[in-house]
């Protein structure tokens, strides 16, 4: 019985918890399918509720009450040290527009999937 409970616990351990954006900028998608659409963008250190890991390299997450998907390579179970938090003044002075941040997020997505 104890072995069964341990196996059950281990199998569900990756289904719930907290995860963080570890890339400086990352894209948030509406699904994990090939036809996924970008719905938002995230910055390093943003916290998500992990719902489940999807078999094709994405995690199903909850953010502000909505279900979203992010490439697993952008995520960490440990809160990362981020440029935007470690060097706030430097990051603030970059003065990136939302379009520039999205460009860097798209570039990062391309790098980690190629």
Whole-angstrom Cα Rg for the chain = 16
CA distances from 96 to 17, 61, 81, 91, 112 (A): 31, 26, 20, 9, 22
Name the residue with tokens 């409970």: 5
CA 103 to chain centre: 17
CA 62 to chain centre: 10
Share of the chain above pLDDT 90, in %: 42
The domain 15-113 is classified under which CATH number: 3.90.245.10, 2.30.30.40, 3.90.1150.10, 1.25.40.80? 2.30.30.40
Q: Specify the pLDDT at position 114.
A: 55
What pTM does this model have? 0.73
User: How many C-beta neighbours within 10 Å does residue 47 have?
Assistant: 12
Per residue in 9-39, pLDDT (tens digit) is: 444 444 569 999 999 889 999 999 888 999 9
Quote the CA–CA distance of 53 and 46 in Å, as a whole number: 18
Instruction: For residue 26, list its beta bridge partners.
Output: 42
Band of pLDDT at residue 108, cut at 50, 70 and 90? confident
Tell me the pLDDT of the chain averaged across its residues: 81
């Amino acid at each position: 019985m104890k072995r069964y409970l341990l196996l059950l616990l281990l199998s569900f351990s990756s289904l719930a918890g907290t995860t963080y954006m570890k890339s400086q900028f990352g894209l948030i998608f509406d699904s994990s399918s090939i036809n996924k659409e970008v719905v938002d963008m995230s910055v390093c250190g943003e916290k998500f509720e992990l719902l489940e890991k999807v078999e094709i390299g994405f995690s199903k997450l909850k953010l502000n009450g909505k279900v979203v998907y992010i490439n697993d390579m952008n995520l960490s179970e440990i809160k990362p040290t981020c440029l935007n938090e470690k060097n706030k003044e430097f990051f603030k002075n970059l003065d990136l527009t939302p379009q520039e941040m999205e460009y860097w997020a798209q570039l990062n997505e391309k790098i980690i999937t190629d």
